[in-house]
Homo-oligomer: A and B are copies of this chain.
Amino acid sequence: MVGGGDGAFIGAVHRMAARIDDQWELVAGAFQSDPERSVMFGERLGLEPDRRYRDFASMAASESKRPDRIDAVSIVTPNHQHHTAARAFLDAGIPVICDKPLTTTLKDANDLAHAVEKSRLPFILTHNYSGYPMIRQARAMIEANELGKIRVVQAEYAQDWLATDLGVNKQADWRGDPARAGPGGALGDIATHAFHLSEFVSRLTAESLAADLSSFVSGRKLDDNANILLRFDGGARGMLWASQVASGKANGLTLRIYGEKGGLEWSQETPEQLVFSPLGEPPRTYRRGGPGLAPSAQHATRLPSGHPEGYLEAFAQIYSDAAELVRAHNDKRAPDPLATLAPGVVDGVRGVRFIEAAVASHKHNAAWTRLD
């Protein structure tokens, strides 16, 4: 693991998620930018002394030469370090699991995409919400044409944890600093998730967007609210709202898609259910672990219906799929097709493009800006 040391949030989440399905063991890491503290943190996690690294460069160099080298590295640093860290491990021949957004510039994102293509190494981007079984169910139903031609895609991701100036706060600080977060605030932190789900589930490609960004809290350098119009290939229309100042919203990611024959609605805070409304029939509530589910949804489930799985289990699914992709790579075989739903570097490039397009649109008073 690279990053995820003292005071980090998402690093600990990655470690829990990786443990649940017993497919990964943490054996090496460079956890903090301060080399001494990085080593100490490795000790606290119980790593062997020679695998508590001072920095990711020495870790990539050293691990690539070990006979028991790591199967993959998990990169959970602030955004601005994703590119160099990922590049170092790819160059060392080591598969990468990387947090989103992929990079802070489209140039870097494309660079990583080329490196992945050239190396043919597995690269997994933790758009973790796509690991939810009912998100995969929604995608499967759309692929099976149960909605008919898609007309409308409504996505939103609303939180309130940045509704005030938090003062000194490790999580808020780097996310609010363009040098470390990149050009997007809520855009990079949460809107990319909503954007990814929109395309992942609808199977459409967004062609252009018009973005009206705000920074409501005084002194904030990046956006904390994004109101975005979307146009998809084939004529579908969408809206995407991302906010970190929506008082009362904890982690309100929702996706609603309407087609000629029916509609689908899902909300991350009640992730176990997916409501399908076939036009002219009573709505049906599909439940994780329950009847009527597609193989891809069943693949992503551990417990019977009614025994709630949540955020960690969806995140674990990305790690389990990653394990299969790495195993298949090592075994020189094709992976289980169901594992290939895990997002990769292409999704990462797409996310960075989305951020850059939204920022560009905003600079031109929400003018339509293309996403290709």
Contacts and interface: CB of A to CB of B under 8 A. Distances in A.
Interface of A: 9, 13, 15-16, 19-22, 147, 151-152, 154, 159-161, 163-164, 210, 212, 214, 216, 225, 227, 229, 231, 235, 237-239, 241, 243, 245-252, 256, 258-263, 265, 268-272, 275-287, 289-292, 302-313, 365-366, 368
Nearest to A285: B283
Contact of A306 (B164, B214, B252, B258): B252
Given A229-B366, A290-B282, A159 B306 contact: yes
Contact of A292 (B164, B258, B282): B282
List the number of copies, as a whole number.
Answer: 4
Contact of A368 (B270, B310, B365): B365
A248 B283 contact: yes
A255 B176 CA distance: 29
A246 B259 CA distance: 7
19 contacts: A19-B22, A147-B247, A151-B245, A152-B243, A152-B246, A154-B241, A159-B306, A160-B258, A216-B260, A227-B229, A227-B237, A229-B366, A239-B241, A247-B260, A248-B262, A269-B272, A282-B287, A312-B312, A312-B313
A246 B154 CA distance: 10
A179 to B, nearest CB: 25
B291 A280 contact: yes
Given A9-B304, A269-B306, A308-B308, 16 more contacts: A20-B312, A152-B243, A160-B277, A210-B212, A229-B229, A239-B241, A246-B258, A247-B260, A247-B263, A248-B258, A251-B307, A283-B284, A283-B287, A309-B310, A309-B311, A365-B368
A365 B229 CA distance: 12
Contacts of A282: 276, 284-287, 290-292
B250 A304 contact: yes
Contacts of A252: 306
Given A225-B151, A290-B282, A312-B313, A163 B260 contact: yes
A311 B154 CA distance: 26
B306 A309 contact: no
Contact of A263 (B160, B235, B276, B306): B160
Contact of A20 (B16, B276, B305, B309): B16
Given A20-B20, A312-B302, A259 B237 contact: no
Contacts of A154: 241
Given A258-B245, A280-B291, A310-B307, A237 B250 contact: no
Contacts of A247: 147, 258-263, 277-279
A289 B250 CA distance: 9
Contacts of A9: 304
A286 to B, nearest CB: 5
B251 A306 contact: yes
Contacts of A13: 303
A154 to B, nearest CB: 7
Given A248-B277, A250-B305, A20 B22 contact: no
Q: Select the residue from A164, A249, A275 with max chain B CB neighbours within 10 A.
A: A249
Contacts of A303: 13, 311-312
A307 B311 contact: yes
A278 B291 CA distance: 10
Nearest to A307: B311
A284 B283 CA distance: 6
A225 B246 contact: no
